[in-house]
Structure 1
Amino acid sequence: MFKIPAWEDDVPKSDAIALPIMQKIKKKEKSTPEKKEQPKVANNIKEKNNKVKANGPKKAAQKRKIEQNPTNKTKKDTTPNKKRKKSEDDVEIPESQNFDEVLLNAGKKKLNQVIEKDDKEDVLFSEKKQKRNKKKQTNGLSNENDKNSNSKIVKNQNNKGNSEVTGTTEIVDRKKARFKQLLEKSSSLRRPINTSNTGNKLRDRMLERLKAAQFRYLNEKLYTSSGSEAQQLFQNDPNAFETYHQGYQLQVKKWPVNPLDVIIKKIMKMPKTHTIADLGCGEAALSRRVPHKVRSFDLVATAPGVEACDMARTPLLSASMDVTVYCLALMGTDLTQYLLEANRVLKMGGHLLIAEVESRFDKVEDFAKEVERLGFKLKQLDKSNKVFYFMEFTKIRDPPVKKAKLPALTLKPCLYKRR
């Protein structure tokens, strides 16, 4: 900080007068702007007086008029100022003091005020710093106290927590023991569930569906191909024949009557000395259920005692058999050749037994008439069953030699529906 030079020696003391004077001048400039024109009016009056002196007594009347006008204006302008009350800031300006001195005193006073403000700000700033340092010190002490207290609390909590954990573990162990006891009691009362059976049932169902689909495919192939073509099919894929017969056995379980049972009843009434040719035997079930001598033939030998061959060309000798059986075996497009082969191997008066699905016939009587043209005579036609037709023929002659006289036997393919 610097010291202010001693103004008092050279300049008279008039600080208390300068500021109010300046404020008064500013207020007058704002409130009464017309007063600024007064010195101009006075100067104009003086000039006009001078002109009157120069011109002489002729223009005395004009001079009087000029003097009267400014006085009236000044009276109008000054009347509100006379009525206004004097405030504390209004100070009378002494006529002896100069305007420059007033300005100097005002400037001096402003400088002193600025210096005092700076000093006050320095003092306040230093006080604030001291307060902040004190706060930091107090905060540091409080933080240390808090840490110590927190550490104590944490230790106490850990001790309590350990004790609580041990207590809770004991409670949990007790509950587990009780729960185990309850489970043992309930398990003794409950019945065990066999999940293996449910899984096996589902697996069996899926396998049955798969086998049924394969059986339908092979069944269609057999009904739409000749005997030699079917034989080649099963020779190339022996597993296909097994799947076909497995599907066949599944279908047999769904039928109301097994047609093989009806045929066995008829054979059991015949003499035991009769020899039987089972054409399209499958697994040779007939040979195991009757006391007669049976020769079993099929496209593939899947069981012991079965001879693999085409049903239209068997290895049997002519007129060597007493009975020939076609139980659901008239398949393919060579039905005429199958029945001609049956006529060849049968003795005169021998029996031809046929069992077929009724849906394959338009009229079963028409089919029987066509079979009679091959040297057979219809002995019995059983239509009592809703699913199957049973026919019994006897051989009365050899078939015609000329092919033109042979009938073209056909049946509808037996197509099993999806279930």
Structure 2
Amino acid sequence: MFVDKAKIYVKGGDGGDGLVAFRREKYVPEGGPAGGDGGKGGDVIFQVDEGLRTLMDFRYQRHFKAKRGEKGRNKSQNGANAENMIVRIPPGTVIIDDDTQEVLADLTRHGQQVVVARGGRGGRGNIRFATPNNPAPELAENGEEGEERYIVLELKVMADVGLVGFPSVGKSTLLSVVSGAKPKIGAYHFTTITPNLGVVEVGDGRSFVMADLPGLIEGAHEGVGLGHEFLRHVERTRIIIHVVDMAGSEGRDPFEDWVKINDELKLYNETLAERPQIVAANKMDMPEAEEHLMKFREQVKEVRPDIEIMPISSLTRQGVQELIYRAADLLDQIPEAPLVDEVTEVSERKVYKLDKKEDEGFRIVRDNEVYVVESPYIERMMKRMQLNSHDAILRLARTLRRMGVDEELRKRGAEDGTIVRIGDFEFEFVEGSSYY
């Protein structure tokens, strides 16, 4: 089954906790701190694998969580960093943040990587907090939580040539004739509902990939019919072969069909109007096709004299080989790289925006008799602190005084015994002292 869109959850591994430990050697009286740091959590990394052609795997696994770092050890040994989680994706995958709709990366080449969820830093052990005033601190940090987010993956097939046109004009038949692909073919609209890929052997040693894309209808750029499910795949093609039913077998005018499809392409993405295009005038074996072709050439010449029109019949194979040769020649003349703006060099700063100085602002609100201190900075700090030691409580108290939280609480009327809540933690306020 071809799957070209998926929504998944990714989470970097949490950092390992730092350790409180002390030296215990036989001849080292009053040994100092010896607790090591925790290891870094693993990153979630997407990597392009050219052997994949669909997002099918993401229908069965939607959660990707990297492992957490190891805890710090005694004897000043740090915990091991966790291994990164490598998630393989097919070339042509666009990675989008589901919350912000920001395009994080557009990966097209084998081996390209992007970090989508960074692992948390390991917590510091008590050896890191030793000072002349406190040479044996009972203080360590918890590991930082890993980044987490919902990601939308959109696959745009990587094909050299894309077949476009109204439903039932013969795109699938043409692909089956020129390649080994076996697309579903039927005498009804939207027989093709997902892209079909086939490798076309030109016959002179050259080859290219051709995609039979689902049929368009008017209004597709707004999502009508298969709409965007089709149009995003056209962006990857280097050449467009526009298949037109020259016999007008369904009572439609070939020129109007050609104009409408081109309008839809341009309205979806203006760059598609500049993409090299060959018109395959199909069904030339049917009555009145020659007459329609003459009129079609005149009409197209008035609008786009540069457009090349090649009469073919997928059924009798008339003109098919000439079309393939012409497409191969045209591919030789244009760059091999996909004609898209790639966002592949994604730095951690761009994705996460974590390297800037954190805002130490706060605000205090009342919840009945409880004073609630709201500050993302303090809450993150408290999550990392192991608040089961006197040293940790003193460090928190110093931070709150430095930020002016004590003073603001007094202005708001806090007294001895007043309950103060920060995140999930509650303390008693003691005038002129600290929190306990």
Structure 1 length-normalised TM:
0.21
Bigger helix share: 1
Q: Which has the larger radius of gyration?
A: 1
Structure richer in strand, relative to its length: 2
Q: TM-score, normalised by structure 2?
A: 0.20
Greater relative contact order, per chain length (Cα 8 Å cut-off, separation 6+) = 2
